Amino acid sequence: MCGIIGYAGEREAAPILLGGLRRLEYRGYDSAGLVVARDGKLCITKAAGYISNLSEAVHGGADLPGTVGLGHTRWATHGKPNETNAHPHISDGGKIAVVHNGTIENYTRLRDFLVSKGYEFFTQTDTEVAVNLIAYFYAESGDVLHAVASAARRMEGQYALGIICEDAPDTIIATKRDAPLFIAVGERENFIVSDVTAVLEHTRTIIRLRDYEIAVLTKDGVTLVTSELDEFTRETETVGWDVSSAEKGGFEHFMIKEITEQPDCVRAALSPRLRDGGIYLDGLGISDEYLRSVERIYITACGTASYVGLVAKYVVEKLARVPTEVVYASEFRYSDPIITDRTLVITLSQSGTTADTIAALREAKRRGAKVLSIVNVVGSVIAEESDWTLYTYAGPEICVASTKAYSTQLALSYVVALKLAQVRGTIEPERFSELLRVLATLPDAIAATLPLREQIQYLASRYASRDNMFFIGRNVDYALAVEGSHKLKEVSYIHSEAFAAGELKHGTIALIEDGTPVVTVAAYSPLLDKTLSNAAEVKSRGARVLAVTTESLREKVESNRDAVDDCIAIPDFEELFLPSLAIIPLQMFAYYCALERGTEIDKPRNLAKSVTVE
Ligand code: M6R
């Protein structure tokens, strides 16, 4: 995820900004840049790749003298990761420079407006729209604070912005909406930071900026104003964390941090796609005519991404009635897939660089299929080679075990399924509108599962000592069981397998001993009774059964003492999208079992974040 640091003080800004950017490296980035105000001019240096490239380019900061400046690490969302698209971005005419975290959702509309006013654009980014919009209002009012407030009112989406203007070279302006931004207060120096880690070596005194508020910083002080430019004050806070826990936002591991980030990530994935009561596949160029012509879908991916595919299959088939097959990418090209020009292949990948998924994509295209990919890393091989790419905008996933990538891929799978159903006429318009309305509330529904954390930690402490565990479920619950089991294995090293609940008695039940844990996913209400009777089959042979169900099914599940020992209940939600809620306790269960066992949670043994070999 991008990182921002800004400095206004008496010391040289560039070395401080470079130091801060290094502290932000853990968040992942692909390019970096600096702007420093000097002699009434804005001097900018940017570099693709590591901070060390940027540091070399400015000789550790010596080439950028000046005491006010901004620094940025970019993690590409709009436009390729290269020097041109790196921040800071400068307005047409060069008066204003901006660093930006987040995505401006209405940037195409705003860019058209600015082009009509004669502004030229030189990058592929949404940020260049922000800086030119501020420049446009500045040209009108001659007041940079007014200009920032006016531009902020017109931008939709998420942003944290640091702004510097040639005509006020001792001042930094900052504002935010749905993206973190803090003011850090020092001795005759003040900072803006998207993540307090970047300034802890200079000060621990911070002010939290809230949405739509604007901060104006010089070396001498900080002024806070509302979006209507009314001045107000706020108490400072003192940060108690050390640097290493600050990187994790106060969490012990990236895994649990990323689990709790999922509501925001899913919001970031969905919000550009759900607009004005419809599905908005901006810039994808995928025609309704093509979607109507599709006769068969393959979903191909590896590991966790392929388990998203298992859920997506149920949703696509249910809504759009297109036969859908999920094939491991490592098997796809050897399976002689039956592909025609009416076959749509969907690949899912966090990294966009998984060798087997790339090979499957190429094989699909070679055989004449169109490929739609759901990818997190912008500009990655899979994103670039696909016919159409939907980005998940989950930000960098640092823990090797995938959590927020799973949730964002799944959310976009719902979008694809709904779009297919709409254009193919397999859904009533009223039901379509209703599902879209509910889907927009999915981030909040996921957030409502997060308080289960304490209960799950307690339960995990009772199960974590076992060396074998089984996960069962039916229909989408089976798909979830597969991912729950996968997550548990990779982070806790507990041997685990997942089965369709009805299959256990055809062999695996022989492995059930006294106390063998069987996690039973029982959230899909149409098959609840059948799942519970499968749970009873194992419990009667000694298993200890932990059920994951919904609030409205809880009583029935909990009271069935022949089938269930322990029960976790997620909030009720639209059945079709319930997997997005049910996965959260399974991820937490894996995390807390691993915590009990003291494993290397964020970097499990033998695993790599991106598997670039076959
Ligand atoms: O980057 P990708 O999504 O293509 O990676 C696919 C798998 O390697 C990945 O999901 C893997 O299974 C993770 N360790 C899961 O937690």
392 lines ligand 1 (CB under 6 A): no
Helices 476-492 and 579-597 sit at what angle, rounded to 10 degrees? 20
The CA 402 to ligand 1 mean position distance, Å, reads 6
Whether the predicted pLDDT of 609 surpasses 80: no
pTM of the predicted model over 0.85: no
**Residue 416: per-residue pLDDT:** 98
Q: How far is CA 410 from the centre of its chain?
A: 11
CA of 97 to the centre of ligand 1 (A): 37
Residues 275-285 as b/e (b if ≥16 CB within 10 A, e otherwise) read eeeebebeeee
pLDDT at 542 over 80: yes
- Which of 611, 612, 613, 614 is the pocket-test mutation for ligand 1 (most atoms within 8 Å of CB)? 611
In the chain, what is the straight-line distance between the N-terminal and C-terminal CA atoms, in Å?
Answer: 28
pLDDT in tens, 386-407: 999 999 998 878 899 999 999 9
pLDDT in tens, 53-78: 999 999 999 999 999 999 999 988 88
Mean pLDDT of the chain: 94
**Neighbouring C-beta atoms of residue 39, cutoff 10 Å:** 8
Q: Whose CA is nearest to atom 14 of ligand 1?
A: 401
Contact 109, 63 (CB under 8 A): no
Question: What's the gap in Å between 295 CA and the centre of ligand 1?
Answer: 28
**pLDDT for 602:** 93
For residue 303 and ligand 1, the question of a CB distance below 6 A is answered with yes
Residue (of 544, 293, 296, 267) closest to 412 by Cα position: 267
Question: Measured between alpha carbons, how far is 308 from 544 in angstroms, rounded to an integer?
Answer: 27
Per-residue confidence at 283, pLDDT binned at 50, 70, 90? confident
- Contact 347 CB / ligand 1 (< 6 Å): no
Domains and CATH numbers, the chain: 3-246 (3.60.20.10), 254-447 (3.40.50.10490), 450-597 (3.40.50.10490)
- Nearest-angstrom CA–CA distance, 452 and 149: 39
Closest CA to 44 of 69, 74, 16, 67: 69
Nearest C-alpha neighbor of 74 from the set 109, 107, 105, 98: 98
Per-residue buried b or exposed e for 557-579, using 16+ beta carbons within 10 Å of the residue's own CB: bbebeebbbbbbbbbbbbebbbb
Q: What digits encode the pLDDT tens for the residues 211-237?
A: 999 999 999 999 999 999 999 999 998
Q: What pLDDT band is residue 347 in, cutting at 50, 70 and 90?
A: very high
Prior bond of 88 cis (ω within 30°): yes
For residues 17 and 30, give the distance between their C-alpha atoms in angstroms, rounded to a whole number. Answer: 17
pLDDT at residue 97, as a whole number: 98
Angle at 100 between CA 243 and CA 352, to 5 degrees: 80
The confidence score (pLDDT) of residue 241 equals 65
Percent of the chain with pLDDT over 70: 98
Q: What does the chain come to in residues? A: 614
* Residue 372: closest CA among 355, 347, 337: 347
User: Is the Cβ atom of 305 under 6 angstroms away from ligand 1?
Assistant: yes
Cβ of 351 less than 6 Å from ligand 1: yes
Active site (annotated) includes residue 505: no
**Residues 6+ positions from 546 with CB-CB distance below 8 Å:** 459, 463, 517, 518, 519, 520, 564, 565, 566, 567, 568, 589
* Tokens read off for 487: 């997550």
Ligand 1 midpoint to CA 611 (Å): 8
Mutate to test the pocket of ligand 1, among 350, 374, 398, 483 (most ligand atoms within 8 A of CB): 350
Task: Tell whether ligand 1 has an atom less than 6 A from the beta carbon of residue 349.
Answer: yes
- Alpha helices, DSSP H, located in 230-302: 243-247, 254-260, 262-270, 288-293
- Does residue 610 or residue 513 have the better pLDDT? 513
Q: What's the pLDDT score for residue 379?
A: 76
Average pLDDT over residues 412-439: 97
Secondary structure class of 271 (helix, strand, coil):
coil
Active-site pick, 2, 165, 302, 567 = 2
Report the b/e string of 322-351 with b at 16+ CB within 10 A: bebebbbbbebbeeebebeeebbbbbbbbb
Q: Is 603 in the pocket of ligand 1 (CB under 6 A)?
A: no
Q: Is the CB of residue 492 below 6 angstroms from any atom belonging to ligand 1?
A: no
Q: Is 2 a catalytic residue?
A: yes
Cα-based distances in Å from 124 to 74, 151, 166, 282, 379: 13, 19, 24, 15, 12
Predicted pLDDT at 28? 74
pLDDT tens-place string over residues 312-330: 999 999 999 999 999 999 9
Residue 359, ligand 1, Cβ within 6 A:
no
Whether the pLDDT of residue 412 is over 80: the answer is yes
Tell me, in angstroms, the distance from the centre of ligand 1 to residue 324's CA.
21
Q: How would residue 550 be classed by pLDDT, with cut points 50, 70 and 90?
A: very high
pLDDT surpasses 70 at 243: no
Location of structure tokens 């966090």? 350
At 126-149, the pLDDT tens digits run 999 999 999 999 999 999 999 999
Closest CA to 72 of 124, 22, 9: 22
**Which ligand 1 atom is at minimum distance from the Cα of 609?**
14
How far are the Cα atoms of 9, 105, 303, 364, 520 from residue 336, in angstroms, in the given order? 65, 41, 21, 10, 35
Angle at 369 between CA 364 and CA 375, to 5 degrees: 65
Residue of 405, 79, 425, 402 lying closest to 268 (CA atoms): 405
C-alpha 349 – ligand 1 centre gap (Å)? 7
82-109 confidence digits (pLDDT tens) = 899 999 999 999 999 999 998 898 999 9
